Amino acid sequence: MPDKHEHTTTPHGHNQTPHGIAPHAAIAWTDRLWLAAMCLSNGITVAVAMLLTVMFKRFGAGNTATLTHLAWALVPWMMRPLCNMLMRRMGWRKETWLVATEMAMLATIASMAALVGTDYWRPCTTLLLIVMSTCGMIHCVVTESLYKEVTANRYPVPLRPMFMAYHAAALLIGLGLTAMVAGNIEVLTRNIYRAWRIAFRLTAMLYAVLTAYNMWKAWSRRHATYGTDDIYNVASWREMAGAMQLFFGNHSPSIGATFLLLFPLPMGLVTGLSPLFLVDSIHRGGLGLSPQEYGLAGGTVGIIGTAVGCLAYTRLHKHIHFDRLVVPVSLATVLTPLSLLIMSSLEAPSLYAINMCMLTGHAAFGMALAVYVNFLAFYSCGRYKHTFFSTGIAIASLSTAIAYYIAGPLQRSLGYHDYFVAATCSCCVAVAAAVLLKMKCFGNSTTNKHTTHPTNTGHTTGHTAIRHDADSGTHQPYGATDDNTTDKYKNKQKK
């Protein structure tokens, strides 16, 4: 019988605790470098999509058209639950999917750079954005799976601090630094098209380096063996239909699915319009920031604020139960539109005031994002837990796309100031969804020091009010069990 403090070794040679978790510091530096490269590749595509928002506005597109392009880019993410079945039928290795999607995204970024300044750049860029979003969705699924495999840790990947830090670094480079470079080149050359073409080419060169490194790592792992249950857990359309019936409830939409749809809606009303407000001209009600100033305020301070909000929630969640955090965080979401409302009310806000407002608003957004992922990880359990997690991401994408379609025409009719007033009032939807979730699903739960957190192994009394999983028999949160730890989990539940 091994000692309770004894550490074991994973199949990859990593030190492992008795709970099956390999600390990040115990992972080999080559694997940590590969994790960083995968996350940078995953985050730079998101930064490019956000950069295109500013680019469309700089090239004369309206807010409605720009937000419509972004809404179309979210359509592939609504199909994420089908990704697992597609990958199973194709039968490719995870590394093959990783390299193939990165090569496709590299080609789209290079094509975007070549199309800048042409007569047909807008429709072609929108099409390329949809292609890049599709590849990015598949790349995100593979990255999360490989991240869990390399770290030998089944804890939800989006809630890990290093995963957040890597993506924040990718956004700082791909959005903040690239916008500053484009703005400086624009000043030197006095040619807006040439400046953004060079900026996109530099981004493509950086992405090519990451792709080459990931290709080399994939080749070095060509003989590695691993489990594929996390991405190959749905085999047929009938099985997918059964999983969707369990997710949404047998007779009516469950409280959990309702929360997943309504909670991100107010945030979607401001996340897409925020960069457009920052760079729009002053006579139209915007702040009139230059690309360099936007790179500082939106691409640097805003990203840091989002990362700080996510990390702050993860620290709080270690000491405070989820049902005590969900309502206060939903109330804090009002800070995001309120910060934009304050900036629109000031006649000539200084760059320092803009940065403080962006830091506060994005920190609240980061906490809301972490709460959403935390509950989704708790909600995803049982046999189809990975399909449930993908379904929750698809619901969030649908909610955000609906918000984008509403935001453009509404802002054009109301103006920025009145629109942000309406967006601030819409936060009551997120608060109502959080209160309903707490009352219906966590009202009878005991939140003392012995109660486990939603993302840890344990049983919550109100879980049956959210959704009853007939295949699981007991509550098994996302990442709590796999093929190697199921027996350990059941024995712990019996004790």
pLDDT of residue 266: 92
Q: Is the pLDDT of residue 446 over 50?
A: no
Distances (CA, A) of 43 to 137, 139, 201, 339, 487: 11, 10, 17, 25, 36
Q: Which of 138-152, 199-213, 308-322 has the highest mean pLDDT?
A: 199-213
Convert the pLDDT of each residue in 9-21 to its tens digit: 343 444 444 344 4
Mean pLDDT across 268-274: 91
pLDDT of residue 322: 85
Q: Is the pLDDT of residue 325 over 50?
A: yes
pLDDT of residue 201: 94
pLDDT of residue 19: 41
pTM of the model: 0.82
Tokens of 419: 């629109």
pLDDT of residue 422: 94
pLDDT of residue 216: 92
Mean pLDDT across 294-317: 92
Convert the pLDDT of each residue in 106-122 to its tens digit: 999 999 999 988 888 88
pLDDT of residue 459: 32
Q: What is the spatial distance between Cα 97 and Cα 90, in angstroms, rounded to a whole number?
A: 10
Q: Is the pLDDT of residue 494 over 70?
A: no
Q: Is the pLDDT of residue 250 over 80?
A: no
Convert the pLDDT of each residue in 45-88 to its tens digit: 999 999 999 988 888 888 999 999 999 999 999 998 888 777 77
One-letter amino acid of 62 = G
Convert the pLDDT of each residue in 119-155 to its tens digit: 888 889 999 999 999 999 999 998 988 888 888 777 7
Q: What residues contact residue 392 under an 8 Å CB cut-off, 6+ apart? A: 260, 376, 379, 380
pLDDT classification of 230: cutoffs 50, 70, 90: low
Q: Is the pLDDT of residue 470 over 90?
A: no
Helices and strands, number each (H, E), in the chain = 22, 2
pLDDT classification of 471: cutoffs 50, 70, 90: very low
pLDDT of residue 233: 65
Q: What is the spatial distance between Cα 158 and Cα 306, in angstroms, rounded to a whole number?
A: 13
One-letter amino acid of 266 = P
Q: What is the spatial distance between Cα 247 and Cα 351, in angstroms, rounded to a whole number?
A: 46
What percentage of the chain exceeds 90 in pLDDT? 48
Query: Which has the higher per-residue pLDDT, 339 or 117?
Result: 339
Paired strand residues for 8: 16
pLDDT of residue 122: 87
Tokens of 157: 């990947």
Q: What is the spatial distance between Cα 155 and Cα 158, in angstroms, rounded to a whole number?
A: 9
DSSP 75-101: HHHHTHHHHHHHHHHH---HHHHHHHH
Q: Is the pLDDT of residue 476 over 60?
A: no
pLDDT classification of 228: cutoffs 50, 70, 90: low
Q: Are 410 and 422 in contact (CB under 8 A)?
A: yes
Of the chain, the end-to-end C-alpha distance in Å amounts to 18
β-strands 15-16, 8-9 pairing: antiparallel
Mean pLDDT across 272-289: 90
Q: Is the pLDDT of residue 465 over 50?
A: no
Mean pLDDT across 93-104: 90
pLDDT of residue 370: 92
Q: Are 179 and 51 in contact (CB under 8 A)?
A: yes
Q: Are 251 and 245 in contact (CB under 8 A)?
A: no
pLDDT averaged over every residue in the chain: 81
pLDDT classification of 2: cutoffs 50, 70, 90: very low
Convert the pLDDT of each residue in 359-405 to its tens digit: 999 999 999 999 999 998 888 877 778 888 888 999 999 999 999 99
pLDDT of residue 420: 94
Query: Which has the higher per-residue pLDDT, 113 or 473?
Result: 113
pLDDT of residue 158: 85
Q: Is the pLDDT of residue 200 over 90?
A: yes
Q: Is the pLDDT of residue 483 over 70?
A: no
